[in-house]
């Protein structure tokens, strides 16, 4: 009898874990498709004033992405390439390709509230974290993502609230190793592009800096189009900068 109860218990636990994994995988598929091309408007509010940026981004799978600054004119042509979790930057003003070292991965990207690590490791919620459902209410499920033992990640844990109708996140809360809230990603205005759903308005806030935030608006989203492989070579940094 005991064996049956134990087997049933293990079966139920593995089912719940599988359900959490499946939700996270579906969420990740929605966020990136097979490939995705986006034009992003970024509003950075800090020091009592606003800065606007416009960015063109191409990404394919979890390992390749290319980003180019389109606006403001001062920064136009700065390009970023992420390949296999490594990151390079090209700055036209000094005509240099610079590899971003691991020690800089937590630095803010272009003065915004997202980090270099966010640009490179967007895939890690599937590969580097164990998912566990901690709450379920109607269509909303709260999943806690804790780092796998051997994962090289910067967060102590991530709690994400997911809408099961669209498999998109409504809010991500990032915690440090001391279980203290560090920042929040708040998502809104979910739109459907082909078979994929994606929130088109993101707001990023720091837990300790209420007076600054970054808003990201996804303007031109194209899934599963043909993106030239030339974008994912180091030579692209300079070539597509112009």
> What does the binding site for other proteins look like in residue numbers (CB under 8 A)?
44, 46-47, 49, 51, 74-75, 78, 89, 91, 93-94, 96, 98-101, 103-104, 107-108, 110-111, 208-209, 211-212
Instruction: Give the nearest distance from C-beta 208 to other proteins in angstroms.
Output: 6
Q: Give the C-alpha separation, 206 to 185, whole Å.
A: 9
Judged by CB, which is closer to other proteins: 13, or 47?
A: 47
How does 107-134 read in b/e, with b if 16+ C-beta sit within 10 Å?
eebbebbbbbbbbbbbbbbbebbbbeee
Judged by CB, which is closer to other proteins: 144, or 215?
A: 215
Decide if 200 contacts 217 (C-beta within 8 A): yes
Instruction: Give the nearest distance from C-beta 188 to other proteins in angstroms.
Output: 24
Instruction: Give the nearest distance from C-beta 206 to other proteins in angstroms.
Output: 10
Residue 208's CB is within 10 A of a number of other CB atoms, namely 9
Q: Is 224 exposed, middle or buried (0-12, 13-18, 19+ CB in 10 A)?
A: middle
Instruction: Give the nearest distance from C-beta 103 to other proteins in angstroms.
Output: 4
Judged by CB, which is closer to other proteins: 5, or 94?
A: 94
Residue 97's CB is within 10 A of a number of other CB atoms, namely 15
Judged by CB, which is closer to other proteins: 30, or 89?
A: 89
């Amino acid at each position: 009898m005991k064996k049956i109860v134990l087997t049933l218990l293990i079966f139920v636990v593995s089912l719940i874990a599988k359900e959490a994994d499946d939700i996270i995988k579906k969420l990740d598929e929605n966020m990136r498709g097979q490939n995705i091309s986006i034009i992003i408007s970024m509003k950075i509010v800090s020091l009592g004033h606003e800065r606007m940026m416009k960015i063109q981004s191409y990404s394919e799978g979890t390992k390749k992405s290319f980003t180019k600054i389109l606006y403001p004119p001062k920064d136009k042509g700065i390009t970023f390439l992420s390949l296999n979790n490594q990151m390079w930057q090209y700055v036209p003003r000094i005509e240099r390709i610079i590899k971003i070292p691991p020690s800089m991965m937590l630095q803010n990207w272009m003065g915004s509230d997202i980090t270099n690590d966010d640009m490179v490791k967007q895939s890690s919620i599937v590969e580097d974290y164990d998912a566990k459902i901690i709450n379920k209410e109607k269509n909303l499920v709260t999943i806690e993502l804790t780092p796998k033992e051997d994962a090289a990640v910067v967060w102590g844990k991530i709690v994400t609230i997911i809408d099961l109708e669209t498999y998109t996140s409504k809010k991500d809360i990032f915690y440090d190793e001391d279980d203290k809230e560090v920042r929040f990603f708040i998502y809104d205005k979910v739109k459907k592009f082909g078979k994929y759903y994606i929130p088109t308005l993101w707001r990023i806030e720091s837990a300790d800096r209420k007076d600054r935030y970054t808003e990201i608006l996804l303007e031109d989203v194209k899934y599963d189009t043909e993106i030239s492989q030339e974008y994912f070579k180091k030579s692209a940094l300079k070539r597509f900068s112009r």
